[in-house]
Amino acid sequence: MDAWYSDHHLAHHGHSELFGGRLVESFEQPLRAERVLDAFLEANLGLVHTPPDAGLAPILAVHDATYVDFLRGAWDAWRALGRAHPALPMAWHAGMGLAAVRPRHIEGQLGYHSMDAGCAIVAGTWPAAYGSAQCAIAAATALAHGEQPAAFAICRPPGHHATARAMGGYCYLNNAAIAAQLLRSLGRQPRVAVLDIDYHHGNGTQAIFWQRGDVFFASLHADPHDDYPYFSGHAGERGEGDGFGATLNLPLPAGTEAPEYLAALDTALDAVRSSGCTASVVSLGVDTFERDPISRFKLRGEDYAVIGRALQRLPRPVLFVFEGGYATDEIGRNAVAVLQGFEAPG
């Protein structure tokens, strides 16, 4: 299994977020991807490639062009006001109506294209998000061309909270959705599964494919009654229109340990295998770890190889797209353990 990694993510740093009512240094740091890269190389699972520039077309197949233009120009617009600190929204249009008019002012645009205050923009944000998406694009392209049965995109920033037109939860471009769309089109796959095993519900991925039946989205995650993103991920959410029945949510309570988690994973895998999908994308978050600083599941290090072995049941080819995980001392070991379990002899 080869991996794709871009060092452009290193420029996305020094940003802040609102956490517990305070402005703090973001938990989403460059060290996350560096630790995963180091662990992948140490495990000698495969080669690490720098992704070629595939341009905006695969991104625009998922994201609204106005939103992409906003991301590309937000920092320059912010700096034009004489501001050097990270850009964060101060107003959101939630509750003001879905038909809110997009403001001209950058402060208004930040709120219009945001769902929370977890996505500060700094000088390196667009190059990092673009490079992260290119990792997913390159890995998906390799799978679509039949170069290997599985691949790993070391994406940072993560992506599964980003919707077609909004950022949130550290996510700017939805790498998993971009990859799934590419597998559908370039790989001519009739139906693709996206399995999200991050601690937090992949609300952005769900929203993007909500009305589509050609992408089956399954997610096990923290109960949104009690955890981020709060407004998405309930068990009753099943899709709409052509997408009805193509969404499966398995919310789990705080304190969930391996037996309960693995049982839910089996349920998700059964659903994927019954869905008729012929390729899979895994949103690989390891913030389910017991010592993750912003999460409340109780998985241990030894559980991640077991998860990887369970994922052998997925329809192949399989693309792993790195998402969350904030216990930086263990993040690389836990993420790579999933890949090692997946690659282990059956």
219-245 residue pLDDT tens: 999 999 999 999 999 999 999 999 999
Predicted local confidence at residue 93, as pLDDT: 73
Tokens 């001209």 belong to 104
| Nearest-angstrom CA–CA distance, 301 and 307 | 11
pTM, two decimals, is: 0.97
Beta bridge partners of 196: 219, 283
Q: What is the mean pLDDT of residues 64-87?
A: 97
Predicted local confidence at residue 94, as pLDDT: 59
Architecture category of domain 2-10+28-58+121-343 in CATH: 3-Layer(aba) Sandwich (3.40)
| Nearest-angstrom CA–CA distance, 169 and 293 | 15
In whole angstroms, how far apart are CA 84 and each of 23, 75, 134, 328? 17, 9, 28, 28
Predicted local confidence at residue 328, as pLDDT: 97
Render pLDDT for 81-109 as a digit per residue (tens, 0 to 9): 999 999 998 888 755 545 678 999 999 99
In whole angstroms, how far apart are CA 286 and each of 150, 231, 301, 332? 19, 22, 10, 9
| Nearest-angstrom CA–CA distance, 125 and 172 | 9
Question: Is residue 221 annotated as a catalytic residue, yes or no?
Answer: no
Closest CA to 75 of 21, 129, 145: 129
Render pLDDT for 169-215 as a digit per residue (tens, 0 to 9): 999 999 999 999 999 999 788 999 999 999 999 999 999 999 999 99
160, 161, 200, 201: the active-site residue: 161
